[in-house]
Structure 1
Amino acid sequence: MSAPDTRFALSAALLVVSIAAQITYPLVEGTTRDRVTVIVVLASATAMVLHSAARLGIPRTVAMVAATAGVGWTAEIIGTATSFPFGSYEYAADRIGPSVADVPIVIGLAWTAGGYCIWWISSFITTTPWFRIPLATAGMVGWDLYLDPQMVSAGLWTWEARDAGLPGIEQIPITNFLGWAAVAAVMFTLLSLIDREAIVFTWRSAITPIGWFTWTWLGSALAFLVFLDDPVLPGAVPYGLVGMGIIGVPAAVCLVGVLGKQRATSR
C-alpha cells in the first residue's frame, strides 16, 4: 500500500474512533464526558491532518494546520481577552486539557477538524475561489450553530450576554456567528492559497471528509432531539440543519453525479 493510501486508511480509522467516542458521549457524565470530548477532537483533527498529508504532502499540511488551528486559536485568545470578534465569553478552567492565555489548546485542533473537512467538501462542489471561500465560510458557521449550543450546554464556555441570540438559541449571541464568519473567511482565504488541488474522487480518499461532515450534519440533529437530555438543544436543530445544508445539499448532488458517471464508465 502506498504512503497516501496508508494515510487515507489511518484517517478513516480515526474517524471511526471519533464517531465511537461521540456515541458514548450521552452515556457518560462529568469528568468522563470531558475526556470523551477531548478524544473526539483529537481523533477528528488527526484524521484530517492525515487526510491532508495524503493529498497535499507534509509541508502543505503543516501550512494547513497553521491556517486552521493557528488562525482559530489566535482568534479565540484575542476573543476571550477583548470580546472581539465573537463577543464576551470565557472558557471553563481545567475541563478539556491544558490552556494557554485561558484558551484550551484542544480548541485550536477543533478548528482544524472542522475547517479542513468543510474546505474539502466545498472544494468537491466547486474549484472557483470566489465561490468556494464564502461557501466554506457558510458551512463553518452552520457547524457552529450545532457546536456552540452543545458546548454551552456542557458548561465548557459561557457567554456574558445570554439573551442576544437567534430565536430558540438566545443563549448564543449573534455576534458569535458573525465572528465565526469573519475568522472562517480569513482561514479559507489562506487555504485557497495552500490547497489548490482539484478533488479526485475515490472512496478511499472521500470517506473521511464525507463521513465526518454527514455524521456532524445529521447526527448532531438526532443527538440534540433524542439522546442529549437538554431541552434547550432542540432549538438549535433547524439552524444546524439549514446552515450545514448550504454545502451539504449541493455536495450530495455532486456525489450522486460523480457516482452516476462512474457507473456509466464501468459499463
Structure 2
Amino acid sequence: MKQLVIAERVCLIGHIVSMVFGLVGILIVVPNAQVILNLSEVGQTAMQWSMAGGGVVYMILGAVGVFLYATRTLGLGRALAFLLPSVFISLGSELLGTSTGFPFGHYSYLSGLGYKIAGLVPFTIPLSWFYLGFVSYLLARAGLEVDKKPNLWRHISAIALGALLLTSWDFVLDPAMSQTSLPFWYWQQPGPFFGMPYQNFAGWLGTSAVFMTVTALLWRNNPINWDRYLRWALPTQLNIPLAVYLSNFAFATVMSLTAGFFVPVLLGLLLGVTPAVLLWLKGSSIPGQVSTEQPEISVARVIAVK
C-alpha cells in the first residue's frame, strides 16, 4: 500500500509540474522564440522536449495518478468501472464529433497531444475525460452523501453535478487552447461563445452524464459492505480530487486570462470551482474514525452506492 501511495503522489505531483512547465512553454517560449536561443544546451533540449511531448506527459501522469488513487480508495473493480466507460464513451463522442460535428460542433485536433486514433482524436483526450471526470463525480457524490435524500435523487444529482463540474472546466479551457499562439485544436465553424459553439457545452454535459450514469450502475452491482467500512471513513482523502480539479482549472484559467478571456473564467469559477469547494467541504464534514490500519476502501462512506 505504501508503494502505491508513493507512485500515486509522484504521478500527481509530476502532473502538476508538467502543467506549470507547459504554461511556461506556451505563454513565454513560443511567443518569444529568441528565449530558446539564450538558453543553455540542456535548457534548449528541455524546451524542445516540452513542445514535442509536454501535453502528452501531463495528461498521462494525471490519468495514471488518478487511477492509482481510485484503485487505492475504491478498489480495482470500481476504478475500472469508471475508467472503461469514461474512456470508451468519450472516445466515441470525440470520434463522432470530429467526423460529423455531433455532439460538440465541427472541430479538428492539431498536433501536440500525441498519436491520433483513426487519425482524428489524440489518445490522450479520453484520458483527460477520465481523470477530470472521476474527480468531478467523486466530489459530487461525496458532498451529496451528507444529505439524507432518497437514493435515486442523490444518484441523479451526483451525475448532474459531476457533469456540470467537468463542463465548467471546459468553459475556461476550450477558448484558450484553440486560440493560443500554439493551438491544439481549431473550430471549423467558430461559435458565439469566444469562438466556441454553444453546442459544445451540450456535448460535454451529455457525454459526461452518460459515462457517469454507466459507472453509477456498475458500482451499484458491486456494492460496498456498508457496516464494515462505515467506521473507517477518511474524508480527508477528498483533498486529492479537489487538488486535481483546482490545479487543472488553474492551468485553464492562466491560459484564458492571458488570452483576454475573462467571462469564461468567471463562469468557471461560479459553476465549477465554487460548487466543487462546497461539495468538498460537505463531504469532508462526514464524521469518521481514523485508524492507522488502512482498509481496502478508505473513502467508502462518502462514495458508496447503497
Q: Same fold (TM over 0.5)?
A: yes
- Which residue of structure 2 lines up, in the alignment, with residue 143 of structure 1? 169
Residue 77 of structure 1, CA deviation: 0.4
Q: Which runs of at least 4 in structure 1 moved beyond 6 Å after TM superposition?
A: none
The 1:7/1:126 distance shift into structure 2, 3 A limit, reads: farther
2:264 is aligned, of 206, 211, 236, to: 236
- Which residue of structure 2 lines up, in the alignment, with residue 24 of structure 1? 21
Residue 35 of structure 1, CA deviation: 1.9
2:204 is aligned, of 158, 171, 180, to: 180
CA contact (8 A) 1:139 1:246 kept: no
Residue 34 of structure 1, CA deviation: 5.0
SS at match of 1:84: coil
Structure 2, unaligned stretches of length 5 or more?
31-47, 146-153, 290-306
- After superposition, the CA RMSD in angstroms is 2.5
Which structure has more helix as a fraction of its residues?
1
Opposite residue 171 of structure 2, the aligned amino acid is: L
Q: What CA deviation, in whole Å up to 9, does each residue of 1:125-164 have, x standing for no partner?
A: 11420211111111111111122123212411111222x2
Distance across 1 between alignment mates of 2:235 and 2:6: 12
CA contact (8 A) 1:114 1:140 kept: yes
Task: Report whether the alignment pairs 1:14 with 2:11.
Answer: yes
- Which residue of structure 2 lines up, in the alignment, with residue 96 of structure 1? 113
Q: Which moved more, 1:146-155 or 1:215-224?
A: 215-224
Task: Report whether the alignment pairs 1:253 with 2:292.
Answer: no
Opposite residue 204 of structure 2, the aligned amino acid is: W
Q: What CA deviation, in whole Å up to 9, does each residue of 1:228-258 have, x standing for no partner?
A: x423x33421121122135314224315634
SS at match of 2:183: coil
Q: Which has the larger radius of gyration?
A: 2
- Which residue of structure 1 lines up, in the alignment, with residue 234 of structure 2? 201
- Which residue of structure 2 lines up, in the alignment, with residue 190 of structure 1? 214
Q: What CA deviation, in whole Å up to 9, does each residue of 1:188-208 have, x standing for no partner?
A: 1012123356893343x3332
CA contact (8 A) 1:134 1:185 kept: yes
Q: Between the two proteins, what is the percent identity of the paired residues?
A: 21
The 1:25/1:131 distance shift into structure 2, 3 A limit, reads: same
| TM-score normalized by the length of structure 2 | 0.73
- Which residue of structure 2 lines up, in the alignment, with residue 129 of structure 1? 155
Distance across 2 between alignment mates of 1:24 and 1:224: 17
CA contact (8 A) 1:133 1:188 kept: yes
Opposite residue 173 of structure 1, the aligned amino acid is: P
- Size of the aligned set, in residue pairs, is 248
Structure 1, unaligned stretches of length 5 or more?
none
CA contact (8 A) 2:104 2:199 kept: yes
CA contact (8 A) 1:70 1:108 kept: yes
Distance across 2 between alignment mates of 1:187 and 1:207: 24
Residue 105 of structure 1, CA deviation: 0.7
CA contact (8 A) 2:133 2:163 kept: no
SS at match of 1:90: strand
Task: Report whether the alignment pairs 1:79 with 2:107.
Answer: no
